[in-house]
A and B are shown apart, each in its own frame.
Chain A
């Protein structure tokens, strides 16, 4: 008997229906759990109200879900073919933002398209993964291991990272660098090259420090010693740790977080939402979030392993790295393990751009999963 969901075995292209039923629903459930957690916390952040955040978040998630499924339905060969074009479009947008920012007033991170604001740096996170995946897909191991072969992808990474850095958005620039670094490592660039780059980086640190903005320096110094300025820059971290710690194992209860509801906790609906969650639901709630995200990453890894194509594997793992960095940097930051760099917690923090960017990533990952049996040539 013919079962439509078993058609994935076929190497030929599938119908949309077939593709839809080939989506990994467990994966989507895990993503939805995180988004639901986000809605819950945003409801609490507004002192038990759907406005201004919770309902919006839900709507955005629904919209993001649509985009995710749409992207999942796309043929993977399309991503392969247009990877570089997508990368160049993103790069041009980044330059546009940079130029506009110079003309306009100070830091500018988005392009206003009327209905929606696009943050090119978010687009670049995906575009870079796709472009690098395509580059390494078409290169031989020999090329990858040679110095000459590593120069084009290195430039592909450094140029946008530099543009983002001068926006200035240190967090996103570092995420681009780390994601690319992980991809370089995965494809087999020799470890000694990383050591050389790290050493060079360490030497360049004092010079880089010189170029950092005052507030960026402050954040790093504050991270190293939060008590340095308990009412200024250190205030956020100190209050975050108080909120977290006072939550204990089981938390203070939904809507009962004193630190968050009495406004001691800053940015509780965006960057510090994990703190609020840990205050109200305690370590149980915090571990739940970490665990579900761990599962999402593990699922992504399993998708990558199942994919027949090198491009597909690399795209899935690259995007998983990107997602992991969001999670790790945000949580480490609110726990006082990293400096405050302004990275939100995806799916939970309030914010449209990150929601769209992350849901798009999941769409492409699902696309890799659906097209796992398609072999891609080296064209």
Chain B
């Protein structure tokens, strides 16, 4: 029994030890609870919130773009798409079949839908088709009973009401690519589009706005349970351009009517504001914001008239005879010719072993600078250039905006080329030849200009030598009052302008066919054509082929720079028609019509402005010019 008592004592002692052990272990649990729930509570609260709260970016509507009169030229249009939610339809196949009866789906589309359905949870809406028309939407809604799980979702997509007419100004928007700098979380949103070229790219930051936030509670499978917080974004700002859609349309139509390829720029000579900016042919930017097909893209690339290239700033052309304006001004300033200096044009001039020809095969006879401009006599300007030299000519050209970028803000702007002796030595390692000065003096040779530079040049001539710079945005009054004056003698400038007036308004002059007289308002300007091919000696001896006998690619480029009203210039225009066959035949008529349209639309320029200032705009459009 003694041993039994011991046995009982051992049991009690050992039980107490085990009991204390249990107590200690349970206290460990409480310490652990304290550690997790008090000490580390904040960390885990954050983690729990990260688990349950999903934040979605809300895309703000893109800012609209307006022309100078407040007409919308880039807007957002409702874009309908059909989605399917797998879990809401009893039979996916049946629903898709029913959908196909309303709207055909291509094999590729069906495959994509199936793939998306497989890789997503059943409550995630999958896109069936986007860019639905109103008609298609109503069809789907009518058949809703056959289409369980199909929902219509509306988003916004960019729309350009003027399509291809504005494409080279506005550019387009497209999906973010890997190359784009991702400085804004919005760019990570699937389907988000940004400006890829033109004004859309230039003002991207302003147009984009700020994204909003939608915080919602999601469960472990990602299903949204409820909305927690919604913070609306800030819509993109509006952008107002100096473009006038009426003039833009007119200018673009003038090119497409004759299937011309080229560019035209219309400027306000006092401010440099761009009223029309055309590069033709063009492309439809709406196709880009929808998503362009490979076929359409290849067609655009293959077109020999290069619709994707912005010829107004990327095309570099010899200015041809329009450059004679610069030559004349430089020569007058240098004193190598006087206002009454006459040269005799015998259609041909020989320098060393080389013969230089005038465009007019019978020659012009004796003429002074004004007459030389009027008839665009080459020999006069050869003689002048011979005495002037390239350096002074180039210097004058640069004053008027040639040879360097305008920096208009659009991509692929080219600088053109104004050669001088240093350039030639550097480029070819050869000294400048006198003969090269001669052909430079008539705008041939190395000289290259963009249509925008030509527009700048003629605007600076027209406004009396003010250094206006083309711009798409309106100048504020302060900027307007601080436009620098180019150092140029006013008398010489007036003399050149007299020549430009005669070019258009004197019968027999190069652009007389394009003249107009609208309530006494006339235009002035200068034609130019640049040879794309070389005229051989043999051809000169027999007969020079007429322009329309040549294939398109070998015809001359036609150039015209001009302004109106001739006596008190307000608008300047530069027109370039690629392979148009000559400035007077192709470019001048277009320039003339653009200027005439600008004048007709300008209420300040009409005779009897007092009466018309009260005429509603719609009626003013009907005023017929006196022929």
Contacts and interface: CB of A to CB of B under 8 A. Distances in A.
Interface of A: 140-142, 144, 182, 185-188, 239, 241-249, 258-259, 261-264, 278, 282-283, 286-287, 290, 293-294, 297-298, 301, 304-305, 310, 313-314, 317, 321, 324, 327-328, 331-332, 335, 337
Interface of B: 3-4, 6-8, 10-12, 14-15, 17-19, 22-23, 25-26, 28-30, 32-34, 36-38, 40-41, 43-45, 47-49, 51-52, 217-221, 225
Contacts of A243: 44, 48
B19 A301 contact: yes
10 contacts: A188-B10, A242-B51, A248-B45, A259-B52, A264-B51, A282-B37, A298-B19, A301-B19, A305-B12, A332-B29
B26 A328 contact: yes
B11 A186 contact: yes
B7 A188 contact: yes
A262 B29 contact: no
Contacts of A262: 51-52, 217-220, 225
Contacts, number: 138
A248 B47 CA distance: 13
Contact of A187 (B11, B43, B218): B11
A313 B11 contact: yes
Given A188-B11, A297-B22, A248 B38 contact: yes
B67 to A, nearest CB: 52
Contacts of B218: 262
Contact of A245 (B8, B41, B219): B41
A328 B18 CA distance: 14
A140 B3 contact: yes
B52 A258 contact: yes
A183 to B, nearest CB: 9
B37 A244 contact: yes
A290 B26 contact: yes
Contacts of B32: 332, 335, 337
Contacts of A245: 36-37, 40-41, 43-45, 47-48
A278 to B, nearest CB: 7
Name, among A188, A259, A262, A301, the residue most crowded by chain B CB atoms within 10 Å (CB to CB): A262
B10 A324 contact: no
A335 B11 contact: no
Nearest to A238: B47
Contacts of A249: 37-38, 41
Given A239-B51, A245-B47, 6 more contacts: A141-B6, A185-B17, A187-B7, A188-B14, A243-B48, A245-B45
A105 B15 CA distance: 43
B3 A258 contact: no
B45 A246 contact: yes
A192 to B, nearest CB: 15
A327 B22 CA distance: 11
Contact of B10 (A141, A239, A287, A294): A141
A141 B220 contact: no
B33 to A, nearest CB: 5
A319 to B, nearest CB: 13
B18 A182 contact: yes
Given A241-B36, A287-B30, A335-B29, A186 B44 contact: no
Nearest to A247: B37
Q: Is the interface of B mostly helix, strand, loop or mixed?
A: helix
Nearest to B14: A186
Contacts of B29: 290, 328, 331-332, 335, 337
A314 B4 CA distance: 14
Given A242-B47, A248-B45, A324-B22, A141 B33 contact: no
Nearest to A258: B52
Contacts of A304: 15
Given A141-B7, A144-B7, A283-B34, A187 B14 contact: yes
A121 to B, nearest CB: 23
Contact of B11 (A314, A327, A331): A314
Contacts of B4: 140-141
Contacts of A297: 19, 22
A248 B3 contact: no
Nearest to A142: B3
Contacts of A282: 37
Nearest to B21: A182
A53 B551 CA distance: 89
B44 A242 contact: yes
Contacts of A283: 33-34, 37-38
Contacts of B11: 186-188, 310, 313-314
Contacts of A261: 219
B435 to A, nearest CB: 79
B214 to A, nearest CB: 17
Given A186-B11, A187-B10, A262-B51, A278 B26 contact: no
Contact of B220 (A187, A263, A298): A263
B545 to A, nearest CB: 77
Contacts of A314: 11
Contacts of A331: 29
Name, among A185, A249, A264, A278, the residue most crowded by chain B CB atoms within 10 Å (CB to CB): A264
B6 to A, nearest CB: 6
Contacts of B49: 246, 258
A330 B92 CA distance: 45
B44 A301 contact: no
B7 A264 contact: no
Nearest to B41: A248
B33 A328 contact: no
A140 B7 contact: yes
Given A241-B44, A264-B51, A287 B33 contact: yes
Contacts of B34: 283
Nearest to B37: A283
B48 to A, nearest CB: 4
A359 B389 CA distance: 115
Contacts of A298: 19
Nearest to A184: B14
A335 B48 contact: no
A138 to B, nearest CB: 11
Nearest to A335: B32
B44 A141 contact: no
Nearest to B8: A310
A246 B44 contact: yes
A128 to B, nearest CB: 17
Given A297-B22, A310-B7, A246 B41 contact: yes
A238 to B, nearest CB: 9
Contacts of A264: 48, 51-52, 219-220
Contacts of A278: 33, 37
Given A287-B33, A335-B33, A335-B36, A141 B3 contact: yes
A310 B4 CA distance: 10
Contacts of B6: 141
B48 A242 contact: yes
B48 A259 contact: yes
B379 to A, nearest CB: 86
Contacts of B220: 262-264
Nearest to B5: A141
A306 to B, nearest CB: 12
A144 B4 CA distance: 12
A258 B30 contact: no
Contacts of A313: 11, 15
Contacts of A301: 15, 19
A188 B12 CA distance: 10
Contacts of B52: 258-259, 262, 264
A197 B7 CA distance: 23
A243 B52 CA distance: 11
Contacts of A188: 7, 10-11, 14
B25 A258 contact: no
Contacts of A187: 7, 10-11, 14
B15 A244 contact: no
Nearest to B46: A246
A335 B40 CA distance: 13
A142 B22 CA distance: 28
